[in-house]
Amino acid sequence: MKKMILGATAAALLASPALAAPSAEQTVTINGTAPTVCTLGAPTSANLVGNLNVTGSTVTVTGLFDAADATMDAGSVTLRFAGMCNYPHNVSLKSANGYLYNTTSNVAPLSGTFFRRIGYNAAYAWANVFRPTAIPAVDSTLAGQSGVAVTSADAAVSGANLGTLNVTLRFDGSGTTPVVAGNYTDSLTVQIGADL
Amino acid sequence: MKNVLGITAALVAVSVAGSAFAAPTATQQVSINGSMADTCTVGQPTVVGAATNASLAGNIVTVQQLASAADALIVPTTITLNLDVMCNNAGYLTITEANGGLVRAGGVGPTVPGQENNFVRKIGYNLETEWDGLAALGKNRSRPHNGSGFINGNAPLPIAYITWGAAHSNAEVKFTIPADSRPVLAGDYSTTVRVRAQSSL
């Protein structure tokens, strides 16, 4: 059996007029599905203003409290998250309480004016969406604990995106109003994908 | 037919034994003819060896996990198929790719402007082929992953094997999807590879 391969001949054969020569064929289809996926890494901090401290996913504002007069200074920080969504998606923030609330004391001041909850602003920028007040700054308040969750408005991203999600936290300080002693906390959820 | 010939032979033998002079005879020659047409066949594919992240059912290869659910990165895939190919005369075997990649249903899919190349939107592969120990130009193909949205473009030239005589052996098609550093845009992806055997004209 004599077998040869000639590329030029092959090309000529393939280009031949379509006279009906005996032939047979099989067509193999190759299928696969890429799932919808979003990833969001741990934050790093940038643009630190004031005596804030960021460790991992914890922002500590203790340094903003002035032990001399019990007031709170202003401060801000940007948290940077490496993110990716491979489909059109949403970006949203949610404050569990809407404030930093005092977890150790719910005793109303006997007299005078004190802040018992501390408001803050959270902004974000991701893909082509920028929300300067995603979590609007609520004035620090004299009210006690029992905060109410605050969720940012829906923000749709029109396609897949890979990049950095920036979340900037801003604390305006208490001015001359003293803050009741205690531990203050809130939990801020940052999400890309489904809306919160 | 054999009976007729046998009877004729007997008559001749009798004639020779019974008389020294030529008796009248009659003969007939019978031709026996047949014609085998040029034919090629291609059997259904079967899997050779162990496939990685892919399975075959009928003529459909399903990539079980095209991309990771954790980070959308491509999960490497390998599957080798054998197809029984026979041509009873000179002929050629062509292996034709539809797109030079797995393309996404519904088009390349949306990304935020400027993000196109941060995602794989057309999944490339390596194609390695063999048939009957023959050489062929471009028998191995490498299609890169693509993020630009390029989908069809020019149809890739087929891989072509030629045999100058009858041949019957397995055609082997090895299909590999390599990893990539970019995530894959979500969606359904597919392509086709056609294996065709044809007699020479």
Residue B94 CA to residue A5 CA, distance in Å, equals 13
Task: Select from A31, A85, A162, A165 the residue whose CB has the most chain B CBs within 10 Å, as the one to mutate to test that interface.
Answer: A31
Contact (CB<8Å) A159/B132:
no
The answer, for A87 touching chain B at a CB cutoff of 8 Å, is yes
Residue A23's closest chain B neighbor by CA?
Answer: B198
Residue A37 CA to residue B80 CA, distance in Å, equals 29
Nearest CA-CA distance, residue B31 and chain A, Å: 28
Nearest to A77 by CA among A53, A42, A101: A53
Residue A30's closest chain B neighbor by CA?
Answer: B61
How many CB atoms sit inside 10 A of residue A8's CB?
8
| Domain spans of chain B, in order of start | 40-199
Q: Which residue has the higher pLDDT, A11 or B66?
A: B66
- Helix (H) or strand (E) holding A85, with range, is strand A75-85
Q: Which parts of A86-187 are beta strand (E)? A: 89-95, 100-102, 117-118, 121-126, 129-135, 150-151, 156-157, 161-171, 184-185
Residue B200 CA to residue B161 CA, distance in Å, equals 12
Q: What confidence score (pLDDT) does residue B10 get?
A: 44
Contact (CB<8Å) A128/B119:
no
The answer, for B39 touching chain A at a CB cutoff of 8 Å, is yes
Task: Select from B84, B111, B195 the residue whose CB has the most chain A CBs within 10 Å, as the one to mutate to test that interface.
Answer: B111
How many CB atoms sit inside 10 A of residue A37's CB?
22
Residue B173 CA to residue B59 CA, distance in Å, equals 13
Q: What confidence score (pLDDT) does residue B138 get?
A: 85
Q: What confidence score (pLDDT) does residue A106 get?
A: 73
Residues 151-170 of A with CB under 8 A from B: 157-163
Q: What confidence score (pLDDT) does residue A22 get?
A: 84
Q: What confidence score (pLDDT) does residue A41 get?
A: 96
How many CB atoms sit inside 10 A of residue A70's CB?
15
Q: CB-side exposure of B135: number of CA atoms within 13 Å?
A: 5
Nearest CA-CA distance, residue B32 and chain A, Å: 25
Does A2 have pLDDT greater than 50? Answer: no
The answer, for A31 touching chain B at a CB cutoff of 8 Å, is yes
Residue A62 CA to residue B164 CA, distance in Å, equals 86
Identify whether the C-beta of residue A33 lies closer than 8 Å to the C-beta of residue A87.
no
Identify whether the C-beta of residue A54 lies closer than 8 Å to the C-beta of residue A43.
yes
Residue A117's pLDDT band (boundaries 50, 70, 90)?
A: confident
Task: Select from B159, B162, B177 the residue whose CB has the most chain A CBs within 10 Å, as the one to mutate to test that interface.
Answer: B162
CATH architecture of A39-193: Sandwich (2.60)
C-alpha B19 chain-centroid distance: 68
Residues 141-180 of B with CB under 8 A from A: 157-158, 160-167, 173, 175
Q: Which residues of chain B have pLDDT under 70?
A: 1-21, 149-155, 201
Identify whether the C-beta of residue B46 lies closer than 8 Å to the C-beta of residue B81.
yes
Nearest to A4 by CA among B184, B135, B2: B135
Dihedral sign computed on CA atoms, order A69, A71, A77, A83 = positive
Amino acid making up residue B46:
T
Q: What confidence score (pLDDT) does residue B3 get?
A: 44
Residue B70 CA to residue A167 CA, distance in Å, equals 23
Does A20 have pLDDT greater than 70? Answer: no
Residue A11's closest chain B neighbor by CA?
Answer: B160
Average pLDDT over residues A34-56: 95
pTM of the predicted structure, to 2 decimals: 0.81
Does A53 have pLDDT greater than 70? Answer: yes
Q: What confidence score (pLDDT) does residue B150 get?
A: 59
Q: What confidence score (pLDDT) does residue B14 get?
A: 45
| Domain spans of chain A, in order of start | 39-193
Q: What is the pLDDT of residues B132-171, one digit of tens each?
A: 898 888 899 999 998 875 555 556 788 999 999 999 999 9
Contact (CB<8Å) A160/B40:
no
The residues, ordered by sequence, that sit 6+ positions from A180 with a Cβ below 8 Å of its Cβ are A102, A105, A109, A114, A115, A116
What is the three-class DSSP state of A183? coil
Q: What is the pLDDT of residues A66-114, one digit of tens each?
A: 999 999 999 999 999 999 999 999 999 999 988 888 888 777 888 888 8
What is the gyration radius of the CA atoms in chain A, in angstroms? 29
Amino acid making up residue B190:
S
Q: Which parts of B132-184 are beta strand (E)? A: 140-143, 159-163, 167-177
Residue A156's pLDDT band (boundaries 50, 70, 90)?
A: very high
What is the gyration radius of the CA atoms in chain B, in angstroms? 29
Q: What confidence score (pLDDT) does residue A14 get?
A: 45
Does A58 have pLDDT greater than 50? Answer: yes
Task: Select from A2, A4, A14, A33 the residue whose CB has the most chain B CBs within 10 Å, as the one to mutate to test that interface.
Answer: A33
Locate tokens 């054998």: which residue?
A: B82
Residues 95-124 of B with CB under 8 A from A: 102, 109-113, 115, 118-119, 123
Identify whether the C-beta of residue A79 lies closer than 8 Å to the C-beta of residue A44.
yes
Full DSSP string of B2-44 = HHHHHHHHHHHHHHHHH-SSPPP-----------PPP-EEEPP
Residue A145's pLDDT band (boundaries 50, 70, 90)?
A: low
Contact (CB<8Å) B62/A32:
yes
Does A35 have pLDDT greater than 60? Answer: yes
Token pair, residue B83, equals: 């197809």
In degrees to the nearest 10, what's the CA dihedral of A98, A99, A105, A111?
A: -110
The answer, for A18 touching chain B at a CB cutoff of 8 Å, is no
Residues 175-194 of B with CB under 8 A from A: 175, 183-194
Q: What confidence score (pLDDT) does residue B80 get?
A: 98
Contact (CB<8Å) A160/B189:
no
Contact (CB<8Å) B160/A10:
yes
Contact (CB<8Å) A34/B66:
yes
Rounded to 5 degrees, φ, ψ at B136 are -155, 145
Q: What confidence score (pLDDT) does residue B197 get?
A: 96
